[in-house]
Structure 1
Amino acid sequence: MAEFLDQKKIQQLIRSHVPGIDSIIVEYVQGCLNDAASTIATSDANTTDENPIDELIRPMLEDASGGADDVDELCAKLSEMLSEVEQQANPQKSSKLSKLAAPVNMVAQQAQINKATKASQAGNTDLAHAKGRSVVSQVDVKKLRKAEARIAAKMEKRGVKSRYEASKLINENLLDDDDLLMRVNPILDYTSTRDKIKDVKIDGFDISYAGKRILTNSNLHLVFGRRYGLIGRNGIGKSTLLRNIAYRELAVPTYISILFVEQEMAGDETPAIRSVLKADLFREQMLRDEAGINEEIKRLEGPAPLDERGEVMSKHEIDAKKNEMGDRLNSIMTKLLDIESDKAESKAGEILSGLGFGAGDFQRPTKSFSGGWRMRLSLARALFCRPDLLLLDEPTNMLDIPAVVWLERYLKTWHGTLLVVSHDREFLDEVATDIVHQHSEQLDQYRGNFKSFWSTREERRKNQMREYETQMQYRAHLQEYIDRWRYNSNRAAQAQMKIKILEKLPELEKPEDDKVVTFTFPNPDNISPPVLFMDEVSFSYSAERKILDHVNIDMQMDARVAIVGPNGAGKTTLLKLLIGRLDPTGGIVHRHGRLRIAYFSQHHVDQLDLKLTAVGHLKKMYPGNNDEEYRRHLGAFGISGMTALQEISTLSGGQKSRVTFAGLAVQQPHFLVLDEPTNHLDMESMDALTNALKQFNGGVVLVSHDERFIDSVCTEMWVCADCKVTKFAGEGIKDYKKMICPPEDQ
């Protein structure tokens, strides 16, 4: 297809007005403009009724972070170029494109073009490589797809064939987070990077998200081989920081491989163990190359092999080609031996077993697993890859106690750098060698595990407070002297000296006070026993799959029960039988006639309407109260002010949990039945929930893997395993943990 516009001129214009724009976007805009010019040049007067600049190009350039004035000026110049094409194609027709906002200053335009040309000719430096930064495109790909569809439909209607049928942004499948991560973080030839320094040192960086400042002039130093726990309040931006590192928005050297595990993998027909093996892209490429070379050698050894020109190769050419193939094969085999490729399947099986997968699960297709198990598969893939920098976001949320213990032990032998977001204090005490505390748009780093951080932080805060108070007293003393003697001729010189001292004192900020988070559940009215019990209850999803058998339970209003056991043993099923969401296949579940039960599901986020506000959600789910009543319940769980009027989709995971807790409080329950309630809660919120449950006068039944939470809230434990539910005879969760996961030295 002929080009109707000067493509080089378009590129120079775009880069001069929107510096740093993605090359893909520049190419796409060039293609769109040429398509539009083609349509104008080949269509009649009745078919050029749309403006591609306003419909598609302007929003794309604005998304690419160009200033509004620069984008307006650029769009005006592009409109003028299309207008010239239209005038040439139909001199009698006036242009229907947008009018120039102002006269074009050709001198200034040429100066900008010359400046851009000099910059582009200064050298072919790969700035992304030099800075260790591969920036992810800022284009809204969903909007782009809709615009693409509209333009394609119009082109098809006119019978015009475009040379640029779809954006490269879409062709590269950048909507897939896994593909996007691999694009900016390819797993490199790690046999060639072992001797390089792999510390990460990023100074003076800022991060913003959705118009909110997350970090300001912050520093992050990660020493290779150390394990860092990243902690901070819900909504402070911890996941955003990990994402910026993973997508290399921050300057991490490009030879450092990074993997970020934050969400479950997509399911397909691939067997579980094969999905883990495929995650090591370098090994997979080496195996493909090995197979290709062996195939080529086999072809060369066959009768009358042909060369690239289709001619029969001579014996000399065959021998030379075979020697070349042999050298490449030796190099590949050396690398495969170096990475112990032959042991890969056993390593993958060991990781899957440690995370709770049975041997029969290895060959199951990934799509057959639930979301929680696919999250474990994502974790298994990352552990198998062994990247230089592993980023984990709440990895223990979907794990039972044996899997958490296995993960702790595995990560303690991790060869690379680990940065993990977690609110599980026991996990951080076991795994972390350092703590990174995110607060007040800053990052503070501490040596030692969480327990060490907690004591060190308190001591540091006391010292900072003493230093601040001392300086404030000294400042007050200096100011008092200055105010008293400033205009006294005998002491004016001394007063001026005090002024200079005051001006040179460093500005100290008062250490922030720890905000106390409180949760409150309303106390219920009393009801007489029997309150809630199971009598010889059995449950099966099918004749072949029995979950519970002959379960007997009796609970009163003062119950404080923790249900523990391996994943898949039936803990959640037991809770659903208690609350009446499932009916037993045998036996009786008795609930008092006036008993109100509030249930917190571990998948509670799926039950939230993310388009509603927190107030709107409560109003929809629990009608009958006014807005003030709903806001009072939300305020009792830290969702106050404008946060209660934000769309739930904009809230952090912990804030969404708080909205759900507020919904429980609205029901004024006698019993709280909680399935993994601490997932996504920060430490302050976990403490607040613990205290609220202690003060609650009703019954509490919960499933959790958090040791500290269980110890603080519950007075008895039931073990759900092998279709039975039995009371644990030990002293508490630590005894249970030792029983199922004995120390390695025993």
Structure 2
Amino acid sequence: MTTCSEYIKSAFPLIDDDLQQYVEDVLENGAEDFENSEEVYEAIGEVLQEISKDKTENDIRNICEDLLNMLRPEQTNGATSSKTRILNAPIHLGSMAANLENNVKDVKSIWLMQRDDSLKVDARKLEKAQAKLQEKQEKRSKDTKVTSVPKLETATASQVTSKKESKLEAKGMNRTQDIRIENFDIAYGDKVLLQGADIVLAYGRRYGLVGRNGLGKSTLLRMIAGGQLQIPSHFSILHVEQEVIGDETLALDSVLQCDTVREGLLKREREISAIINSGSSADSNLSNELTEIYTQLQNIEADKAPAKASIILSGLGFNPTMQQKATKTFSGGWRMRLALARALFSRPDLLLLDEPTNMLDIKAIIWLENYLQNWPTTLLVVSHDRHFLETVPTDILHLHSQRLDSYRGNYEQFVKTKTEKLKNQQREYEAQMAHRSHVQEFIDKFRYNANRAASVQSKIKMLEKLPELKPVEKEVEVTLKFPDTEPLSPPILQLDEVSFKYNEGRIILSNVNLGATMDSRICIVGDNGAGKTTLLKIIMGILSPTSGICHVHRNLKFGYFSQHHVDQLDMNVNSVELLQQSFPGKTVEEYRRQLGSFGVSGDLALQTVASLSGGQKSRVAFARMCMSCPNFLVLDEPTNHLDIETIEALGKAITKFTGGIILVSHDERLIRMVCKELWICGNGSVKSIEGGFDEYRRIVEQELEVSQNK
């Protein structure tokens, strides 16, 4: 660097010491970054030009080239470059002077020395030179950064276990019927979901786990089922999360195979019977074993198992013909029902259910509600179906603020208790704040009064001893907003004598005569497979009716939401990029504003879609659907994976929407909130009924009663 210093001094004899130091610092800082003399000129050229008015731009460029050769001799003669010290940023002379103003005598400052005004450098140009260098360094840093494929984070758990329980577990003496998981943490990547949490599941009670989307409810169930959170080893756990694998096994047999004890006894019984019948052995031990097997089969009521399995399958929508079909013939939704049937049949000590109503129609939901009310062991269920939560659980676990709070009673009781609890906490906080303010007023008034010194000290100590209360944390209210629409003159939508069948298959719909307006709030209900989704596709023109006519207003613009749209989102991009792919050409602010109107804001909008919870993905799908500003919404099971607060917000958004809506849903509360008209799909027909949802529920309960009495 000495050579550069001498060269600068000789080229610019009138240069100020501090300016020379600045130029040398810039050169030293960029020694390894400068690729050519042009970059050196960009960094210091304007400063050097200001110092020497007699030099032309070419002179300055030549000087910059000479300086580069001195800095990087290896480029000319292959010699090893001298070791350079890299600074974090250019030296800022203003900051230097401010920091060292107390040591003026030791510093030669350009602000303190007398100097020729003609040699002063324009402050703006100096700042511009610094900014250019900073920008170049940042650009180079970005260029050298290796881009990596977004990696999916995984959940981790840690737990503190008591020595007493660990010893009992090691000796095989832990026979407790209750499950107690204390002082545990769960994180998903860098995000902490639960910290220092406790959970107690008493045997025979039914727990509903509730909380906002993305807080870790499903993750908690997976941690328990996967053994990351330890529970006594003698407990059998069953987590209904994945569908049954399709093969040649009959649906009924698939359920029966869950009873491994019964299956093992029957297998051994067949083996022994085959040996005895073949006459190859007349061993009395085999006869005694066979007798013992018959006794055990009788004790577990093995003969009643097929009937029990059939009742469960029937309740979940499998008719006798379907029960005798191979599992590979069923769709994913029906295989999930099979997984639920197997869980209900096997009756584990702890049954974990995650959104069990998502795959069911209203008839199956009503049956499941009734069945689980008599569940004999411990149940932990994540659900956002408010009616289900008011019918099934005996207790509610509320996940919020990285902790779990337990409440006795169903969801309705939980809401009342929590509301009262928050009111009391707020009252207590406000009372303490008022008391603190009053005491502080006294302290401030008499702080310097000698006669009141003892009282003031007493008040100060009293304030220090008061427990520190925090204001009540209010959960951010979820808001959803559908786009405003322009009114259309009727007729809007009309089905006249519409029938439909797939190729030469059975008739799905026959002679349907229905209509909708821009004020319509129609809910379509019916059993799975009754033709609800087919009807929606005919309305939107995705399918053409086999006969009849579907009249649609020429300016009607459909917005279609279905669960498969959520499943087919690009998981490797963030939500902003997802909207950018579907609707290019808009600003980032527009995409973020659209996502924000569906509750996907802040950092959430920049997370990869794969890392979002099911409910958050649904909101992203809503945002994408509404980017085209539809005036008629067709929503097929929109509440799947949405939390209760978001379902409430969806209901309010539907009510305020100025266009028409046709909704397929099994969420009783949402249907009651928004629907003015109910269409029942079944037996090849679609008809509108008077009496709304109450009438439909009465019809379903009658059908269930008839089927159970058969």
TM-score range, shorter chain: 0.7 to 0.9
Q: Does 1:346 align with 2:310?
A: no
Asked whether 1:631 is paired with 2:592, we answer yes
Taking the aligned partners of 1:200 and 1:63, their CA distance within structure 2 comes to 25
Cα distance, 1:536 vs structure 2: 1.3
Of residues 668, 691, 694, the one that matches 1:734 is 694
Tell me, yes or no, if structure 1 residue 577 matches structure 2 residue 538. yes
Q: CA deviation at 1:290?
A: 3.8
Contact 2:156 2:186 in 1 (8 A): no
Question: Contact 2:202/2:378 (CA < 8 Å) preserved in 1?
Answer: yes
Moved more, 713-722 or 614-623: 614-623
For the pair 1:647 / 2:625, whether they are aligned, the reply is no
Letter in 1 for 2:696: Y
Is contact 2:559–2:634 with CA below 8 Å preserved after alignment? yes
C-alpha spacing 1:461/1:128, structure 2 compared with 1 (3 Å): closer
Question: Structure 2 CA distance, aligned partners of 1:489 and 1:207?
Answer: 56
Unaligned runs of 5+ in 1: 1-61, 67-125, 134-191, 304-317
Call closer, same or farther: CA 1:262–1:484 in 2, change over 3 Å: farther
Could you tell me how far 1:203 is from its partner in structure 2? 2.1
Quote the residue 1:199 is aligned against. Answer: 178
The alpha-carbon deviation at position 723 of structure 1 amounts to: 0.9
Residues 613-659 of structure 1: per-residue CA shift (max 9 Å, x gap): 11222222233433221211111000111211211111100001101
CA distance in 2: counterparts of 1:721 and 1:405, whole angstroms:
18
Measure the CA separation in 2 of the matches of 1:360 and 1:129: 50
Q: Is the 8 A contact 1:392 1:419 kept in 2?
A: yes
Equivalent residue number for residue 42 of structure 1: none
Amino acid at match of 2:374: T
* Structure 2 counterpart of 1:275: 254
Which residues in structure 2 correspond to 1:263-662 (within 5 Å)? 263-294=242-273, 302=280, 322-323=284-285, 325=286, 329=290, 331-485=292-446, 489-662=450-623
1:322-352 per-position Cα deviation (integer Å, ceiling 9, x unaligned): 43x5565555444433322221111111110
CA distance in 1, matches of 2:208, 2:297: 33
User: What are the superposed Cα offsets for residues 427-446 of structure 1, whole Å, 9 maximum, x if unpaired?
Assistant: 11111111111111111111
2:631 corresponding residue in structure 1: 670
Matched, 1:258 2:219: no
Letter in 2 for 1:220: I
Alpha-carbon offset, residue 260 of structure 1: 0.8
Identity within the alignment, %? 54
Q: Separation in 2 of the partners of 1:400 and 1:476? A: 58
- CA distance in 2 between partners of 1:230 and 1:242 (Å): 10
Q: Tell me, in whole angstroms, the C-alpha distance in 1 between the residues paired with 2:316 and 2:680.
A: 20
Q: Cα 1:492–1:339, aligned 2, differ >3 Å: closer, same or farther? A: farther
Work out whether 1:221 is the aligned partner of 2:200: yes
- Does residue 695 (structure 1) correspond to residue 673 (structure 2)? The answer is no
SS at match of 1:279: coil
- Judged with a 3 Å threshold, the aligned counterparts in structure 2 of structure 1 residues 522 and 249 are, in CA distance, closer, same or farther, namely same
* AA aligned opposite 2:424: N
Checking the alignment, whether the CA contact within 8 Å between 1:132 and 1:251 is kept in structure 2 is: no
- Tell me how far 1:476 sits from its aligned partner: 3.3
CA contact (8 A) 2:155 2:189 kept: no
Please give the alpha-carbon distance, in whole angstroms, between the structure 2 residues aligned to 1:340 and 1:642: 56
Deviates more, 1:671-680 or 1:363-372: 363-372
Q: How far 1:375 sits from its partner (Å)?
A: 0.9
Give TM-score scaled by structure 1 length.
0.69
1:527–1:698 CA distance, 2 compared to 1 (3 A): same
Looking at structure 1, the residues matched to 634 and 317 of structure 2 have their Cα atoms a distance apart, in angstroms, of: 25
Taking a change above 3 Å as real, the CA distance of residues 244 and 333 of structure 1, as seen in their structure-2 partners, is farther
Query: C-alpha separation between the residues in 2 aligned to 1:487 and 1:279?
Result: 81
- Higher mean C-alpha deviation, range 374-383 or range 472-481: 472-481
Q: Could you say if the C-alpha distance between residues 462 and 330 of structure 1 is closer, same or farther in structure 2, counting changes exceeding 3 Å?
A: farther
Q: Name the counterpart of 1:5.
A: none
Tell whether the 8 Å contact from 2:579 to 2:624 is kept in structure 1 after alignment. Answer: yes
Whether the aligned pair in 2 keeps the contact of 1:707 and 1:734 (CA below 8 Å) is no
Q: Which residue of 2 aligns with 1:183?
A: none
- Rounded to whole Å, the distance in 1 between the matches of 2:608 and 2:326 is 36
SS in 1 for 2:670: helix
Q: Residue by residue, what CA displacement relative to the aligned partner does 1:496-544 show, whole Å, maximum 9, x if unpaired?
A: 4444433333333322113211111111122222221112111111323
Cα deviations across residues 418-471 of structure 1 (Å, max 9, x unaligned)? 111111111111111111111111111111111111111111110111112222
Q: Secondary structure at the match of 1:396?
A: helix
Alpha-carbon shift at residue 276 of structure 1 (Å): 0.9
Alignment check: 8 A CA contact 1:132 1:252 kept: no
When residues 481 and 418 of structure 1 are mapped into structure 2, their CA distance, relative to the original with a 3 A threshold, is: same
In structure 2, relative to structure 1, the CA distance for the partners of 1:491 and 1:533 (3 Å cut) is same
Query: RMSD of the TM alignment (CA)?
Result: 2.9
Q: Map 1:50-129; keep pairs closer than 5 Å.
A: none
Paired letter, 2:701: C
- 1:483 Cα offset (Å): 4.8
Q: Which segments of 5 or more consecutive residues in structure 2 lack a partner in the other structure? A: 1-152, 158-162
Match of 1:510, SS?
Answer: coil
Q: Return the letter of the residue paired with 2:352.
A: L
Q: Distance in 2 between matches of 1:534 and 1:633?
A: 34
Give the partner amino acid of 2:330: F
- The amino acid that maps onto 1:547 is I
Larger deviation, residues 613-622 vs 378-387: 613-622
Task: Give the Cα–Cα distance (whole angstroms) in 2 for the partners of residues 632 and 385 of structure 1.
Answer: 49
The answer to whether the Cα contact below 8 Å between 1:131 and 1:251 also exists between their aligned partners in 2 is no
**1:666-712: per-residue Cα shift (whole Å, max 9, x none)?**
11111000001111111111111111111111000011111111111
Partner of 1:96: none
Give the drift of 1:132: 6.1
Please give the residue correspondences for 1:127-166 in structure 2 after superposition, counting only pairs within 5 Å.
none
Q: Is the deviation greater in 197-206 or in 451-460?
A: 197-206
Cα distance in 2 for partners of 1:337, 1:368 equals: 34
CA contact (8 A) 1:227 1:433 kept: yes
Quote how far apart the aligned CAs of 1:129 are.
7.6
Counterpart of 1:280, as a letter, is D
Separation in 1, partners of 2:446, 2:230: 54
Whole-Å separation in 2 of the counterparts to 1:640 and 1:238: 21
TM-superposed CA distance for 1:410, in Å, is 0.4
Per the alignment, do residues 528 and 632 of structure 1 end up closer, same or farther by CA in structure 2, a change over 3 Å counting? same
Structure-1 separation of matches of 2:243 and 2:197: 30
**TM-score (normalizing by structure 2):** 0.73
Aligned partners of 1:131 and 1:252 also within 8 Å: no
Counting matched residue pairs gives 548
> Would the aligned equivalents of 2:250 and 2:327 in 1 still touch at CA under 8 Å?
yes
